[in-house]
Amino acid sequence: MPTITAWLQAAVATEERDGRADTRPVLEALAAAAAVLRAASWNADAAENGTASVAGARPDQQQ
Amino acid sequence: VTETRTIADLTRAFATRTVTSESVTRECLARIDRIGAATNAFITVLADRALAAARAADAEVAAGRLRGSLHGVPISLKDIIDVAGVPTTAASAVRRDHVAAHDAVIVQRLERAGAVIIGKTNLHEFALGPTNDESAFGPVHHPLDPSLSSGGSSGGSAVSVATGMSWASIGTDTGGSIRIPAAACGVVGLKPSFGDVPTDGVVPLSVSFDHVGPLCRSVADARLLFDVLSSVPDVAGPEPVPQAGAVRLGTPRDYFLEHLAPAVRAAFEQACDRLRDAGVTLDTVSIPAARETSPIYVYVALAEAAEYHARTIEAHPDRYTTPIRVRLQAGRHILAEDYLRAQRGRQRLVAEVDAALAGCDALLLPTLPVTAQPIGAATVRLGDWEDAIRTTMLRLTQLFNVTGHPALTMPMPPTTEGLPVGLQLVGRRGATRRLLDLAALVEPIAGHPFAC
ipTM of the complex: 0.90
| Alpha carbon of B351: minimum distance to chain A alpha carbons (Å) | 5
CA dist., res. B227 & res. B210, Å (int) = 19
Q: Of the listed B76, B135, B153, B294, which one is catalytic?
A: B153
Average pLDDT, chain B: 96
- The β-bridge partners of B425 are B364, B408
CA dist., res. B175 & res. B25, Å (int) = 32
Contacts of A6 (CB under 8 A, 6+ apart): none
| Alpha carbon of B82: minimum distance to chain A alpha carbons (Å) | 31
Look at B341 and A43 and tell me if their CB atoms are within 8 Å.
yes
Looking at the predicted structure, is the pLDDT value of residue A46 above 90? no
Looking at the predicted structure, is the pLDDT value of residue B209 above 70? yes
Look at A23 and B334 and tell me if their CB atoms are within 8 Å.
no
Q: Verify whether residue B177 is a known catalytic residue.
A: yes
Q: What is the pLDDT of residue A50?
A: 53
Say whether residue B391 is in contact with chain A using an 8 A CB cutoff. no
Contacts of B16 (CB under 8 A, 6+ apart): none
Say whether residue B288 is in contact with chain A using an 8 A CB cutoff. yes
CA dist., res. B427 & res. B254, Å (int) = 19
**H helix runs in B6-139, sequence order:** 7-15, 21-31, 37-39, 47-62, 105-112
Looking at the predicted structure, is the pLDDT value of residue B236 above 80? no
Q: Which of B245, B222, B202 is nearest to B406 (CA)?
A: B222
Identity of the residue numbered B158: A
Look at B352 and A57 and tell me if their CB atoms are within 8 Å.
yes
**What residues of B are in contact with residue A26 (Cβ under 8 Å)?**
326-327, 329-330
Which among B292, B342, B344 is the nearest to A44, CB-wise?
B344
**What residues of B are in contact with residue A46 (Cβ under 8 Å)?**
none
> How distant, in Å, are the alpha carbons of B16, B26, B51, B64, B336 from that of B1?
13, 12, 17, 21, 54
CA dist., res. B421 & res. B412, Å (int) = 6
Look at B338 and A11 and tell me if their CB atoms are within 8 Å.
no
pTM check: above 0.90: yes
Look at A15 and B338 and tell me if their CB atoms are within 8 Å.
no
Question: Picking from B48-52, B96-100, B238-242, which range would have the lowest pLDDT averaged per residue?
Answer: B238-242
Q: What is the pLDDT of residue B376?
A: 96
C-alpha B201 chain-centroid distance: 18
What is the number of other CB atoms lying within 10 angstroms of the CB of residue B344? 17
Look at A57 and B334 and tell me if their CB atoms are within 8 Å.
no
CB B27 within 8 A of CB B39: no
Backbone angles phi, psi at A19, to 5 degrees: 80, 25
Look at B337 and A42 and tell me if their CB atoms are within 8 Å.
no
Looking at the predicted structure, is the pLDDT value of residue B238 above 90? no
Backbone angles phi, psi at B365, to 5 degrees: -160, 165
Q: Of the listed B21, B78, B157, B169, which one is catalytic?
A: B78
Instruction: Count Cβ–Cβ pairs < 8 Å, chain A vs chain B.
Output: 88
Q: Residue B152 class from Cβ within 10 Å (0-12 exposed, 13-18 middle, 19+ buried)? A: buried
Residue to mutate among B333, B347, B402, with most A CBs inside 10 A, is B333
pLDDT band at B134 (very low <50, low <70, confident <90, very high): very high
CA dist., res. B225 & res. B218, Å (int) = 11
Contacts of B240 (CB under 8 A, 6+ apart): none
